[in-house]
Amino acid sequence: MNSPTICWQRGCVKLIDQTKLPNKCEYIICRDVKTLWKAIKVLSVRGAPAIGVAAGFGVLLGMKTFKGDDSKKFRKHIYKVSDYIATSRPTAVNLFNVLDRMKTVLARHMDLSVSQLKKILTDEALAIYEEDRRVCREMGKHGASLIKSGQSVMTVCNAGALATVDYGTALGVFYSAKESKKKFKVYACETRPLLQGARLTTWELLRAKIDTTLICDNMAASLMKKQQIDAIFTGADRIAMNGDSANKIGTYSLAVLAKHHRIPFYIVAPRSTFDRKIKTGRDIPIEERGREEVISFGNRPTAPKGVKVYNPAFDVTENKLITAIITEKGIIHAPNKLKVNQLFF
Ligand code: MRU
């Protein structure tokens, strides 16, 4: 992407309003924490790594409203701001990992003044931003080794530049494969109900001039059966320490289908998407979103008003269905507790 999905600019957070894509590419300028919280909540900024970066910048926005030079009060204020940001969305662990990182910085520097603390928090948030750019490119290189020219791959939701600062996790693999001159096709699942695949993934892949075909989610099985898919690459919102991975609803069904059709199924995610406090996928909190997302399309109702609706935003794919997890540190084949733990040593 030419300009980043999210950045820190003149004391504000500038982000692409993804709810408007693909019709308009507009930016939102967040000058306060509330506006940023809402941007996360309504998915103007979305995708686990981008939400993490947004959380770091959110702390900086919160910092601006603190007046005075009492560093004890300043710490309390930052904890309060962090707790508030943490209520925006529950599943992407990058959000909580970044907030923990910002708090750890405070805890490590008990002797500093308020202005010094403001400076190190700013440095930390900007370091998180730069790290995202670097690790996405590293994952891209590792993952591209798994794609051969002539192959067709599938993805779901949007794990691209729009879900990170500017490159992507699963789509970063495709960008890297393209940079090394491989020729391949991508099938993008539309990703009901909010259509991140149709609205966002195809938008960014077309801009990158990657051969892209959009399918409805319920067409994936038949494409696999026709042997038209060689591999599936998706992102993740939270990975448990045994490799079980939560990602956009519908990912699990793709993994089951992939197993049945003997197609490799890859998760592409940085170490910041692992939850070191969670042993298995059973403990991953799954966000449930509002009924209106399911019973209407644009402003048009697509179901009778009174119908009951179930709308989980994510599902969990067990490690045994995952061929490998691609991280910035390399590829973990057949992920399990032992191999995932080794990532952190
Ligand atoms: O609800 P969303 O759009 O935030 O869901 C995003 C996903 O499920 C992505 O696949 C995941 O965050 C990985 S993004 C690199």
- pLDDT tens digits, one per residue of 122-131: 999 999 999 9
CA distance 139 to 173: 7
Q: Give residue 255 CA to ligand 1 midpoint distance, Å.
A: 16
- The number of domains in the chain is 2
Q: Are strands 324-327 and 265-268 parallel, antiparallel or unpaired?
A: parallel
CA distances from 306 to 9, 194, 290, 302, 309 (A): 45, 20, 14, 12, 9
C-beta of residue 54 within 8 angstroms of C-beta of residue 15: yes
Rounded CA-CA distance 295/266 in Å is 32
- Residue with the smallest CA separation from ligand 1 atom 10 is 235
Domain-terminating residue out of 117, 137, 157: 137
Of 99, 119, 137, which residue constitutes the final position of a domain?
137
Q: Where in the sequence is the domain holding 312, given as residue range(s)? A: 141-342
224 domain-assigned: yes
> How close is the Cα of 236 to the center of ligand 1, in Å?
7
User: Is 184 in contact with 151 (CB distance < 8 Å)?
Assistant: yes
Of ligand 1's atoms, which has the minimum distance to the CA of residue 247? 8
Answer yes or no: do 99 and 77 share one domain: yes
CA–CA separation, 214 vs 203, rounded Å? 10
- In this prediction, residue 189 carries a pLDDT of 98
Ligand 1 site residues (CB inside 6 A) read: 43, 46-49, 92, 157, 159, 163-164, 169, 196, 234-237, 247-248, 313
- Single out the catalytic residue among 132, 166, 237, 275: 237
Which tens digits make up the pLDDT trace of 228-257?
A: 999 999 999 999 999 999 999 999 999 999
Residue 1 lies in a domain: no
Tokens of 119: 């400076």
**What residues form DSSP beta bridges with 87?**
none
Query: Is-catalytic flag, 237?
Result: yes
Which atom in ligand 1 lies closest to the alpha carbon of residue 169? Answer: 15
> Would you place residue 297 in the very low, low, confident or very high pLDDT band (cuts 50, 70, 90)?
confident
Using the 3D structure, point to which of 137, 169, 185 is the last residue of a domain.
137
- Give the position of tokens 């306060």: 32
Can you give the pLDDT at residue 41? Answer: 98
Q: Is the pLDDT of residue 155 over 90?
A: yes
Q: Considering the domain boundaries, does residue 288 fall inside one?
A: yes
Residue 194 near residue 253 (C-beta atoms within 8 A):
no
How far, in Å, from the CA of 72 to the mean position of ligand 1?
36
Residue 92 CA, closest ligand 1 atom number? 12
Amino acid, single-letter form, for residue 296:
S
Place of tokens 């408007």: 20
Whether residues 45 and 178 share a domain: the answer is no
109 dihedral zone (left: phi>0; alpha: psi -120 to 50; beta): beta
Distance 302 CA to ligand 1 centre (A): 25
How far is the C-alpha of 336 from the C-alpha of 317, rounded, in Å? 13
